[in-house]
């Protein structure tokens, strides 16, 4: 068998936590989650999850993990699509103004790089309003 068990049947014949210091590993403990994992402790070796479960506990259930990943991907994709729309709207305004650039603000490092940047930022709505007024002025209305 390759890799940790994926089914109850595989778990029943699997040896958990095999390593050089324990080449035989440990047998499956009935009634516990079948996942093998390495605890987040110094010098820890792999072992069977000790949560009670028929097959998987809630944190090791591959289906649940996939659903959570899917949900995270959807949030990310929605955010990306929104960011793309904002960027394109900004790019269009910059093109029509003939000056400026779309400003991306990273909030990951709130203190580094802070300070006045000798530039002003204008909200899209302001620029759209300004362009509309300039257009109407040119048209003589
Ligand atoms: Zn588990």
Q: In this predicted model, what pLDDT tens digit does every residue of 9-32 receive, in sequence order?
A: 999 999 999 999 999 999 999 999
Whether the predicted pLDDT of 88 surpasses 90: yes
Whether the predicted pLDDT of 86 surpasses 90: yes
CA of 1 to the centre of ligand 1 (A): 20
The answer, as to whether pTM is greater than 0.75, is no
User: What DSSP state is assigned to residue 18?
Assistant: -
CA of 83 to the centre of ligand 1 (A): 37
pLDDT bucket at 83, cuts 50 / 70 / 90: very high
Buried b (16+ CB within 10 A) or exposed e, 123-136: eeeebeeeeeeeee
pLDDT digits (tens, 9 = 90+) for 50-78: 999 999 999 999 999 999 999 999 999 99
Phi, psi of 21 (to 5 degrees): -80, -10
CA atoms within 13 A on the CB side of 36: 22
CA of 50 to the centre of ligand 1 (A): 7
- Ramachandran sector of residue 64 (left: φ over 0; alpha: ψ -120 to 50; beta: rest): alpha
Supply 39's token pair.
């605890």
Q: Which residues are near ligand 1, the ion (C-beta closer than 5 Å)? A: 33, 35, 49, 51, 57, 60
**CA dist., res. 41 & res. 35, Å (int):** 17
CA of 66 to the centre of ligand 1 (A): 15
């Amino acid at each position: 068998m390759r890799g940790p068990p994926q089914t109850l049947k595989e778990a029943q014949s699997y040896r958990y936590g095999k390593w050089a210091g324990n080449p035989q590993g440990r047998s499956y403990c009935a009634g516990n989650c079948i996942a093998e994992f390495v605890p987040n402790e110094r010098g820890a070796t792999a072992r069977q999850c000790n949560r009670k479960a028929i097959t998987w506990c809630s944190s090791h259930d591959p289906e649940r993990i996939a659903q959570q990943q899917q949900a995270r991907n959807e949030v990310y994709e929605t955010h990306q699509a929104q960011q793309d729309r904002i960027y394109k709207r900004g790019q269009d305004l910059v093109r029509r103004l003939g000056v400026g650039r779309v400003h991306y603000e990273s909030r990951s490092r709130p203190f580094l790089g802070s300070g006045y940047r000798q530039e002003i930022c204008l909200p899209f709505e302001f620029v759209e309003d300004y362009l509309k007024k300039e257009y109407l002025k040119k048209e003589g209305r």
